[in-house]
Structure 1
C-alpha cells in the first residue's frame, strides 16, 4: 500500500503520544493512593509536570491539523469541503462530551446529574473548532495572511487576558452556557484559555503549509521551535515583567506571576521539535492508527476508567487506592488494553457491522413470523377460558 503523499506523519505521532500520556495520566491520577502524592518526591514531581503537557499538546495539535487540512483545499469559504466536515466533527465531539457524562440512574429517576452540564475536554475542543471555522470564514475572505495573523493575535490576547476572565463568574448567563467560560460550577476545561492553544496551533499550521516544500524546511522549523520553546519556558516571565516596567500595564505583571500558559506553550514547542527531528521514524502504521483514533480511544477509556453511564469503572473500585508499583503496572496494561481494543475494532469494523446487520435482519424476520403466532395463541387461550367460565 502506498502512503499518502505529503502526509505529516509526525503530527499523528504527536497525537498518539498525547493520547497515551492522557491515558496513563488519568489512570495514575484517579487510582494512585493519597500517601504517595508527594510533590517533594522527584519521580512524582516529574510525572506531574509532564502530565500537565498533555492538554496543551492536544489543543495545539487540534488547531494545527485542522487548519493545515482546511487551507490545503483548493477552495475557500463555504465552498471548502473541510468547513462542513469540520462542523460535523465538532458537533460529534460536543455530543460525545455530554453523552459520556450522562448518568442512566439519574435519567431513570427523571432528572439529569449535575455533572452532565460540566464542560470537559471534548466540549471544549468541539467548540474551539467551531470558533476556528468562524474566524476562518470571516477573515479568510481577504487573504490567508489576515487569517494567519488573526489566529496569532487571538492566541496572544487570550493568554494575556487570562487574569481578567479567570475571575468572571457570569451569573447572568444560563449555567449551561456559563460553564464554557468559567469553572466555578464544576467545569474541568473552559473555552478560554484553551482556545488560545488552538489559535497558536492554527498559526503554526499555516506556516507549515506555506513553507513545507522548501528545502531544509523541517530543520529550520525545528530550530525555530526549539528557540521559541526555550525562550517561552525560561524567559517569558522576564519579558512580561519588562513590558510591565516599560508600559506600566498591570496585566503583564499579573500574567508573569502566574505564567503557566506561555510556559506550557514552550513545552509544546519543544515537543514539536523532538518529533520533527525524528519524523523519519514516525510513519509506522501502529503509530499512525493510534494517532488517528484519539476520539474513540478517549471514549473507551472514559467508560473503563470512570464508568460513564453506570458509574461502574475502575475509579469506583480503586479510587486513590493503589501503590506506585500497582499503578505503574496497571497504567501500562490500561494503555495497551484500550489501544488494542480500539484498533482491533477498527480492523474488523466492516466484518462486525455486517454480522450485526445480518443478526438484526434475522431477528426481525423471526419477530415477523412469531408475533402473529403469539397473538393467535393468546387469543385462543382467552377464548378457551371464556368458554370454561360460561
Structure 2
C-alpha cells in the first residue's frame, strides 16, 4: 500500500470537518434564538457534534503538517518543509486578518475592533509556526525529544487551562492579548488550542515511524478507540480522584469543566473511525474537498460574515430562521461554497492573476481621481492602506 493511499483517511477527515464547520456556522449564526433549546434532543445532539469540529480540525492540521515536515531525509533548516511551513503559517495569519478587514472602515481611516480578534486561521497559522519552532530546537538532539515535547505541550496546556484562562493580559497590546484571552471577543486563542495541533503532530510522528508496519492500522484503531472511550468516560472521574488525593484545586476545576479532555476523546474516536473505513474513502470529490479546506473557509467567511464589506448572510438573516429554513439553507450554503471553492482551485493561478490586475487597475483609477480632486489627506490614507493590502495580497497569493 503506497503512502498516498495511507493518507486518504486524513483528507477524508479534513473534508468531514470542513463540511461540519460550514453547517455549524450557518445554523448557529442564522437559527432563531427561540429554537435554541438544550432540552430538545435533536438540538442537543447537533450542538454536541458541532463542538467536535474545531478540535478535529486543529488536530488534523497538526497531523498533516508534521507528517510532511518529517517525511524527508533532510532535517533542521535544511528541510525544505521548514521554509514552506513558515510561509504557510504567515499566510494563514495574513488571510485571517484580511478576512476581518472592512474596506469601508479603512476609507474612514479606522480599523474596527473586530479586525484584531483572533479566529481559527490565526491559531492554526501560529500553531504551525509553534510546531516548526519545537522541531528546530529538538530534532538534532534526540529523536524522542520532538514528540515528547509535543505530547507534554498538550498535557500542560489542557491541565493548566483553568489557571491561565482567567487572565485578561491587559498589559499587552490588544492585538497580542487577543491570542491569549477571549475577553475582547476572540473566537479562539492559541492556548489551549495549540494543544490539539500538538497532539496531532505527536500522532503523526508515531504514524510516520511505524508507517511500514503490517499492524499499524489495527494497533492505531484499537489504541485510539480505547483512549477515546477512556477520555470520554473516565477522565472527569480521574481528575476528581487526583483532587481528592493531592488536594490541588486545579484538578477539581478540570472535573467541573472537563471539555478539553472529553473533546480529545472525541477526536481520537473520529480518527479511529476514519482509519477503520479508510478503504472506502478514496472518492475523488471527498479528497478534493479535503485538500481545498482553506479555499472553502475563505469563501464561506465572505458569504456568511461579509468580509471586506460587512454585508454577508449574517448581516441580513442574523438569528432569524426557523429550523426547517436553517437546515435547508445549510445544505444550499454547503453546496454553493464547496462548488465555488473547487472551481477556484481548478483555476487558481488564472483567477489570482486576474484579481491582481483588477487591483492594479482600481489603484490607478483611485490615484487619478485623488490627483484630480486634490485631497492630500485622503490620498495619503488610501495609499497607505493600498500598500498594506497589496503586501497582504502578495503573501496570500503566494
TM-score with structure 2 setting the length: 0.87
Structure-1 residue corresponding to 2:211: 212
1:282 is the counterpart of 2:276: no
Please give the alpha-carbon distance, in whole angstroms, between the structure 2 residues aligned to 1:37 and 1:288.
34
Structure-2 residue corresponding to 1:113: 112
String of CA shifts for 1:339-364, please: whole Å, max 9, x gaps: 011111222345656888999999xx
List aligned pairs for 1:23-102, cutoff 5 A.
23-102=22-101
Structure-2 residue corresponding to 1:240: 239
Please give the alpha-carbon distance, in whole angstroms, between the structure 1 residues aligned to 2:219 and 2:245.
32
Please give the alpha-carbon distance, in whole angstroms, between the structure 2 residues aligned to 1:352 and 1:5.
29
Please give the alpha-carbon distance, in whole angstroms, between the structure 1 residues aligned to 2:337 and 2:355.
22
String of CA shifts for 1:296-343, please: whole Å, max 9, x gaps: 110000110011111111111111111111111100010011001111
SS at match of 1:183: coil
Larger radius of gyration: 1
CA shift for structure 1 position 250: 1.9
String of CA shifts for 1:179-218, please: whole Å, max 9, x gaps: 1101111111101010011111111111101112111210
Larger mean Cα displacement after TM superposition, 312-321 or 264-273: 312-321
Please give the alpha-carbon distance, in whole angstroms, between the structure 2 residues aligned to 1:113 and 1:81.
38
Please give the alpha-carbon distance, in whole angstroms, between the structure 2 residues aligned to 1:100 and 1:18.
20
Structure-2 residue corresponding to 1:297: 296
Structure-2 residue corresponding to 1:332: 331
Cα 1:154–1:349, aligned 2, differ >3 Å: closer, same or farther? closer
Please give the alpha-carbon distance, in whole angstroms, between the structure 2 residues aligned to 1:95 and 1:64.
22
TM-score with structure 1 setting the length: 0.89
Larger mean Cα displacement after TM superposition, 116-125 or 339-348: 339-348
Cα 1:90–1:249, aligned 2, differ >3 Å: closer, same or farther? same
Cα 1:272–1:105, aligned 2, differ >3 Å: closer, same or farther? same
SS at match of 1:144: coil
Please give the alpha-carbon distance, in whole angstroms, between the structure 1 residues aligned to 2:109 and 2:161.
39
**Structure 1, unaligned runs of 5 or more:** 363-390
List aligned pairs for 1:379-390, cutoff 5 A.
none
Cα 1:248–1:6, aligned 2, differ >3 Å: closer, same or farther? same
1:258 is the counterpart of 2:257: yes
SS at match of 2:70: helix
String of CA shifts for 1:143-164, please: whole Å, max 9, x gaps: 2211111110110000000011
String of CA shifts for 1:7-45, please: whole Å, max 9, x gaps: 501000000000000000000001111111111110000
CA shift for structure 1 position 173: 1.1
Aligned length: 361
SS at match of 1:222: helix
SS at match of 1:187: coil
C-alpha contact (below 8 Å) 2:103/2:308 kept by paired residues: yes
Cα 1:357–1:60, aligned 2, differ >3 Å: closer, same or farther? closer
Question: RMSD across aligned C-alpha pairs, in angstroms?
Answer: 2.1
Please give the alpha-carbon distance, in whole angstroms, between the structure 2 residues aligned to 1:93 and 1:353.
17
C-alpha contact (below 8 Å) 2:10/2:64 kept by paired residues: yes
